[in-house]
């Protein structure tokens, strides 16, 4: 039976029970969760998605926590798949698996699937995310480290969601948007591993919270010896001083509010100066009085000028500030090249927001918005694990592996991998071939490539919504308003 939704062809072997409404007897243990489970199931800790002994998720259902989770993940992989679409996938293969016919009136509704997603425990999903991020980082090879140190990239982004009162209460819309015409926006600050490209940790907030303040919530995930790459928004005396006290070095772009001169300090080389910053006189609201008083009075830093030369463009100058003051251990050219890799975080956000659909979420309540966002991040790290495996086994540089190519390959190989589930050797061989194909289609090397944030294709010439939808009346012609004539 052919299907255009390969992730759930394998729901046939799922033992959901004999009836949709009345489950006869105890549901047997699920040995297979379909094609998607065949590929990703071994990457997750066992038992996290099992049934509870009492309370939520303790009843025998078609949509068990395990089935619901993988259905949720497949919905992310499928892009714009609706809840009704996923419910139909599950039901179609459940009916195919039954030995006895089931009445047509007994159907699995989109509402049932949405309720099952609501029963997923957020802390369990967070444990799955933490396990995947830990698994990615532990597989980073020594050759992928920067001068034997782990590098973390910090950056922030935003994404929107449906305009509901509850969502507006938790994540208010931008103040530039009129009431009834905007959308709630959540801000997320993520900590990415330069070695694996995986998302190690994240935190969320509102548009009114600065990214540097949210970044402090991720410090518990940093370890002595790490190096932080950040844009100018994260560059501050207090943050660099506190991180340095913990043995964590920083390489950041100089904040635009701080004026410096390369005539100050001691010359270490061309466009390379060593200088001492003094503690600012005034405390910011982001730091308590006790935290501010605990900061050192001075901080020795290194100022490096980075010149960006791209053919066809004017030479741009970027000033870097870092706590890596040892010129022999960390030459200026190495630091410049390291900061150049900070741009990779923009690709990571593009993969999450555009390829996986994190940019615009669809749930109506804050609780489900948090779960929906977390499942998107889990799906991102799952694909990253395959990219890492393909690079390691085929000896290819991880940066040359395409995220979109890996996503497409995994989706289309899932059916063949599941079909060979009864033959472990054949299944293992298929996975190896899949990894080889992923690694055999590298992204071309395009150093200095410029990608302006501009669209070539024009938008449709529709009116903009300038009033709430129930009040808006669009003229019959875009240049001439429509007048009501008496009958």
The sheet that has 227-230: what strands, in order across it? 199-205, 185-193, 151-160, 227-230, 249-253, 316-322, 298-308, 272-278, 266-269
In this prediction, residue 186 carries a pLDDT of 96
440: burial class by Cβ within 10 Å (0-12, 13-18, 19+)? exposed
In this prediction, residue 485 carries a pLDDT of 47
In this prediction, residue 100 carries a pLDDT of 56
Q: Which residues of the chain have pLDDT under 50?
A: 1-38, 483-487
CA dist 315 to 183, 318, 338, Å?
A: 38, 10, 19
What is the token pair recorded at 293?
Answer: 């008083």
User: Hunting for tokens 């929906």 — which residue is that?
Assistant: 372
**What gap in Å lies between CA 432 and CA 390, rounded to an integer?**
8
Q: Which residues of 174-203 are buried (b: 16+ CB within 10 A; e: fewer)?
A: eeeeeeeebbbbbbbbbbbbbbbbbbbbbb
Which secondary structure element, helix H or strand E, spans residue 293, and what is its range?
helix 289-293
Taking residue 18's Cβ as centre, other Cβ atoms within 10 Å add up to: 14
In this prediction, residue 56 carries a pLDDT of 64
Phi/psi of residue 383, nearest 5 degrees? -65, -35
Length of the chain measured in residues: 487
Pick the CATH number of 123-355 from 3.90.350.10, 2.60.40.10, 2.160.10.10, 3.40.190.10: 3.90.350.10
CA geometry: angle 334, 336, 340, nearest 5 deg: 115
**What gap in Å lies between CA 196 and CA 216, rounded to an integer?**
22
Phi/psi of residue 65, nearest 5 degrees? -55, -35
* Digit-coded pLDDT (tens) for 303-361: 999 887 766 555 588 999 999 999 999 999 999 999 989 989 999 999 999 999 999 99
Phi/psi of residue 153, nearest 5 degrees? -105, 130
CA geometry: angle 237, 239, 242, nearest 5 deg: 105
Q: Quick one: CA torsion of 258, 261, 267, 271, rounded to 10 degrees?
A: 90
* Digit-coded pLDDT (tens) for 165-205: 999 999 999 998 888 889 999 999 999 999 999 999 999 99
pTM of the predicted protein model: 0.85
**What gap in Å lies between CA 332 and CA 309, rounded to an integer?**
17
First to last CA, the chain: 59
CA geometry: angle 76, 82, 86, nearest 5 deg: 80
Q: Are strands 227-230 and 151-160 parallel, antiparallel or unpaired?
A: parallel
Domain borders along the chain are 6-120, 123-355
Which secondary structure element, helix H or strand E, spans residue 67, and what is its range?
helix 65-77
In this prediction, residue 451 carries a pLDDT of 64
Which secondary structure element, helix H or strand E, spans residue 269, and what is its range?
strand 266-269
């Amino acid at each position: 039976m052919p299907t255009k939704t390969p992730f759930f062809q394998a729901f046939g072997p799922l033992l959901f029970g004999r009836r949709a409404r009345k489950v006869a007897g105890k549901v047997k243990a699920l040995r297979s969760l379909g094609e998607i489970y065949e590929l990703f199931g071994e990457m997750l800790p066992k038992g996290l998605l099992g049934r509870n002994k009492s309370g939520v998720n303790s009843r025998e259902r078609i949509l068990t926590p395990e089935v619901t989770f993988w259905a949720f993940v497949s919905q992310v992989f499928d892009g714009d798949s609706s809840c009704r679409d996923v419910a139909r996938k599950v039901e179609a293969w459940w009916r195919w698996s039954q030995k006895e016919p089931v009445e047509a009136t007994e159907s699995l509704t989109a509402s049932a699937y949405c309720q099952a997603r609501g029963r997923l425990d957020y802390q369990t999903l967070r444990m799955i995310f933490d396990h995947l991020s830990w698994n990615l980082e532990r597989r980073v090879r020594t050759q992928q480290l920067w001068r034997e140190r782990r590098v973390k990239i910090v950056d922030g982004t935003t994404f929107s969601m449906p305009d509901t009162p509850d969502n507006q209460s938790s994540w208010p819309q931008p103040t530039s948007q009129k009431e009834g015409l905007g959308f709630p926006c959540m801000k997320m600050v993520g900590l990415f591993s330069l070695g694996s490209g995986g998302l190690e940790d994240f935190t969320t907030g509102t548009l009114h919270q600065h990214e540097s303040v949210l970044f402090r919530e991720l410090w518990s995930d940093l370890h002595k010896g790490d190096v932080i790459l950040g844009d100018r928004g994260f560059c501050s005396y207090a943050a660099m001083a506190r991180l340095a006290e913990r043995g964590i070095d920083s390489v950041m772009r100089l904040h635009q509010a701080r004026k410096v001169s390369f005539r100050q300090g001691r010359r270490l080389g061309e466009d390379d100066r060593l200088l001492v910053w003094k503690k600012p006189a005034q405390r910011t609201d982001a730091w308590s009085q006790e935290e501010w008083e605990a900061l050192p009075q001075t901080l020795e830093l290194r100022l490096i000028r980075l010149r960006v030369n791209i053919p066809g463009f004017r030479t741009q100058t970027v000033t870097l500030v870092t706590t890596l003051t040892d010129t022999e251990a960390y030459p200026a050219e190495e630091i410049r090249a390291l900061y150049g890799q900070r741009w990779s975080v923009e690709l990571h956000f593009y993969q999450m927001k555009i390829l996986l659909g994190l940019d615009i979420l669809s749930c109506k309540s804050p609780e489900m918005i948090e779960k929906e966002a977390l499942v998107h991040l889990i799906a991102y790290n799952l694909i990253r694990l395959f990219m890492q495996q393909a690079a390691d086994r085929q000896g290819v540089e991880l940066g040359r592996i395409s995220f979109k190519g890996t996503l497409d390959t995994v989706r289309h190989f899932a059916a063949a991998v599941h079909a060979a589930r009864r033959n472990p050797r054949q299944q293992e061989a298929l996975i190896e071939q899949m990894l080889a194909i992923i690694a055999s289609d590298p992204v071309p090397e395009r150093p200095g490539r410029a990608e302006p944030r501009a669209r070539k294709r024009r938008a449709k010439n529709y009116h903009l919504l300038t009033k709430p939808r129930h009040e808006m009346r669009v003229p019959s012609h875009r240049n001439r308003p429509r007048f009501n004539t008496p009958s």
